[in-house]
Amino acid sequence: MTDASHAALSTGAAIHDGAAVRVAVNSGTTSIAAGREASVPPEPSGERRRLVDRRWFRILGGALIPLALLALWQWVSTSGLVPLSQLPSPEMVWLAAVDLAQRGVLGLYVAISTQRVFIGFAFGAAAGLALGAIVGLSRLADVLLAPTLGGIRAVPSLAWVPLLILWFGIGEDSKVILIAIGAFFPVYTIVSAALRHVDRQLIEAGRAFGLHGLALFATVQLPAVVPSVLSALRLALAQAWLFLVAAELIASSMGLGFLLLDSGQNGRIDRIFLAIILLALLGKLTDSVVALIERWAIRRWA
């Protein structure tokens, strides 16, 4: 079992006290808590496992509230308590999905949005890993770079949009760059903090046994931060979806963000619901994949 590390994405200053990694990002409103403790069941042991540790119960338990919400939604929308123009029924949303799918745009929108997220995430996370490693390992780089990066991080995401459009046009580039910016900061912040807080005693032991430079990094520092890196990637992915919508809301002709904006302008509330539900599903799905990798990494490295 790992320490009670939690990575919480929230606004504020970056602190790392060993038990908690708080990441400040320029997203403003969203707060996502990725509880590592909760995502890793304790190792199987001889004693009976508690109900909440059983896989089927976890899946069933997690689906309980969404199913209840769906039922409540169905009931409220059909009972006439709320007019259909305010709250479409689940069936209407389903029909909107089928309709869009038949026109061939639903798959396209999902694909283009996912592609933007993945490309932006890949670039942003890679840059975040590199700069996080440099700032976390070198005091000099920390002195030189950290204040500047902290300043850039403080810029709200939407503030980049006009600039990116002016510089890169309204094509894919500006969107992917915005998403990369969103994915960069969680990774940079967590990785640099985690590297700076690797157990000094272990580093000293590594040095005492003749390790330095790259060998020390590969033997002690990198393995020590693998779980943090995975948490960081998870947050970065969530952040990438967030920035996707920001990017697509402003200027685009495709994608889920565009669907949201377009439907808002045309009063198609069923499609708005559809887009929101799709964003939730896609975000949760990609997050679950990274969470699986994270679980494996924690078991392997912590």
**Which stretches of the chain bind other proteins, using CB under 8 A?**
201-202, 204-210, 212, 219-220, 223-224, 226, 300-302
**DSSP bridge pairs for 219:** none
User: What tokens does 126 get?
Assistant: 């890679």
Closest to other proteins by CB, 120 vs 206, is 206
User: What tokens does 6 get?
Assistant: 């939690």
Closest to other proteins by CB, 81 vs 205, is 205
* Cα 225 to Cα 10: distance, rounded to the nearest angstrom: 21
Least CB distance to other proteins at residue 40 (A): 14
Least CB distance to other proteins at residue 207 (A): 5
Contact 27, 182 (CB under 8 A): yes
Contact 21, 228 (CB under 8 A): yes
Place of tokens 């209407």: 92
**Amino acid, res. 170:** I
Half-sphere exposure of 197 (CA within 13 A, CB side): 17
Give the residue among 233, 249, 240 at the shortest CA–CA distance from 283: 240
Closest to other proteins by CB, 13 vs 214, is 214
Least CB distance to other proteins at residue 42 (A): 13
Cα maximum dimension of the chain: 75
Least CB distance to other proteins at residue 198 (A): 11
* Cα 246 to Cα 248: distance, rounded to the nearest angstrom: 6
Least CB distance to other proteins at residue 141 (A): 22
The distance from CA 204 to its chain's CA centroid, rounded to whole angstroms, is 34
Least CB distance to other proteins at residue 126 (A): 24
Closest to other proteins by CB, 57 vs 209, is 209
**DSSP bridge pairs for 16:** 21
Contact 256, 244 (CB under 8 A): yes
Place of tokens 């198609």: 268
Contact 172, 116 (CB under 8 A): yes
Closest to other proteins by CB, 55 vs 200, is 200
Closest to other proteins by CB, 151 vs 213, is 213
Q: How many residues does the chain have?
A: 302
Give the residue among 187, 192, 195, 177 at the shortest CA–CA distance from 147: 192
**DSSP bridge pairs for 67:** none
Closest to other proteins by CB, 54 vs 207, is 207
Closest to other proteins by CB, 29 vs 201, is 201
Output Rg (C-alpha) for the chain, integer angstroms: 22
Least CB distance to other proteins at residue 231 (A): 16
Least CB distance to other proteins at residue 206 (A): 8
